[in-house]
Structure 1
Amino acid sequence: MEVVTILNEFQPYILIGLSIIVIILLIVMLSTLRSLNKLESKYRKLTRGINNKNLEEIIVNYLDNIDGIKEKTEEVKLKQEQLSHQLKTCIQKVSILRYKAFEDVGSDLSFSVALLNDNNDGVILTGIYGRNDSTVYAKPIDKGISRYDLSQEEEEVLLDACNNSNE
């Protein structure tokens, strides 16, 4: 009986203490519900538009797509390197000069053309126009140097072409 009398004596304090505990638990529960709602909102944004598929399947599918794109990127990179190497052997530098080869011929119908690649390898074409005949010469160029003697006009177009850069 002593327990009952003690409980009756402290009943208002016990009720106040239990009420405070219930209020604290309600606050914790509301905070937990709010956090759960935020998490559910983030989950819905993450899984939006997936038509009831497993999230793991979607992620694996995206990773497979990324691997495929990496392979394609490597193929494109290799092709670009091949094209870049081939481009160095193509004619990239051109210079042309028209001039009068002979004083007694009326116009500047003679010409010299330098056609060089990135390594300054190529050819100089020279056409000499005369009153009675015309002649065309081709002189190979290796690294900007000719094995054959060059005329002043040919040296001029060679120097101009060598100084042309495609940057």
Structure 2
Amino acid sequence: MAMEMHTREILITLGVACALLIIFVVHLEIRVRRLTRGGKAKNLDEAMSTMESDIKIIKQFKVEMIDHLANVEIRLGRSVQGVGTVRFNPFRGNGEGGSQSFASSFISEKGNGVVLSSLYSRDHVSIFSKPIKDFKSEYELTDEEKKSLVIAREIFSKK
């Protein structure tokens, strides 16, 4: 009788242990299926191999994107980003021209670009262009051109 008691306890203990192991195996099976879900892998080895190749592709893409963004950053620094325009009347005293004349600055982040000026009168329109390097021109700028350059440069201080 004592032997039967011990046998019963051993069987119950083994039954509980088997139940726990079955639960653990089911849990592991669910995790493995999650790993292989959505892919063509039939087993864990194939899934890991696929993930490894995907990681290599992603790392290569990251390197390419870093290079591309560096290139874009260089090109962006050379592009026109600051624009300033000032309208004015060059013939203030005699009423000719009105405020049809203007000076416009088009500059990059590094201060390179051009200032375009247009002087309008009833008879003709004159257009002038002055190169800008480092926010300065080798040619003398009019007050209106200087003002348009200041307006264009202020755009960079707002960033």
- TM-score interval, normalised by the smaller of the two chains: 0.7 to 0.9
CA–CA distance in 1 between the matches of 2:82 and 2:41? Answer: 61
Deviation of 1:90 (Å): 0.5
Deviation of 1:113 (Å): 0.5
Matched, 1:93 2:73: no
SS of alignment partner, residue 145 of structure 2: helix
Change (3 A) 1:161 1:125: same
Which runs of structure 2 are paired with 1:144-155 in the superposition (5 Å)?
Answer: 144-155=135-146
Cα deviations across residues 19-49 of structure 1 (Å, max 9, x unaligned)?
A: 3432332232123222212222123213335
Stretch moving more, 42-51 or 110-119: 42-51
- 1:43 maps to a residue whose letter is L
Unaligned runs of 5+ in 2: none
- 1:64 maps to a residue whose letter is S
Which runs of structure 2 are paired with 1:146-165 in the superposition (5 Å)?
Answer: 146-165=137-156
Stretch moving more, 122-131 or 47-56: 47-56
CA–CA distance in 1 between the matches of 2:98 and 2:41? Answer: 83
Between Structure 1 and Structure 2, how many residues are aligned?
152
CA–CA distance in 2 between the matches of 1:38 and 1:30? Answer: 12
CA–CA distance in 2 between the matches of 1:36 and 1:146? Answer: 82
Deviation of 1:51 (Å): 7.5
Match of 1:126 in 2: 117
Unaligned runs of 5+ in 1: 1-14
- 1:30 maps to a residue whose letter is G
Q: Which has the higher contact order (CA 8 A, sep 6+)?
A: 2
Deviation of 1:123 (Å): 0.7
CA–CA distance in 2 between the matches of 1:91 and 1:52? Answer: 51
Which runs of structure 2 are paired with 1:53-68 in the superposition (5 Å)?
Answer: 53-68=42-57
CA–CA distance in 2 between the matches of 1:153 and 1:162? Answer: 14
TM-score by length of 1: 0.81
Change (3 A) 1:52 1:100: closer
Q: What is the percentage of aligned positions where both structures have the same residue?
A: 23
- 2:6 maps to a residue whose letter is I
- 1:53 maps to a residue whose letter is K
Looking at CA atoms only, which structure, 1 or 2, has the larger radius of gyration? 1
Matched, 1:116 2:78: no
CA–CA distance in 2 between the matches of 1:73 and 1:133? Answer: 57
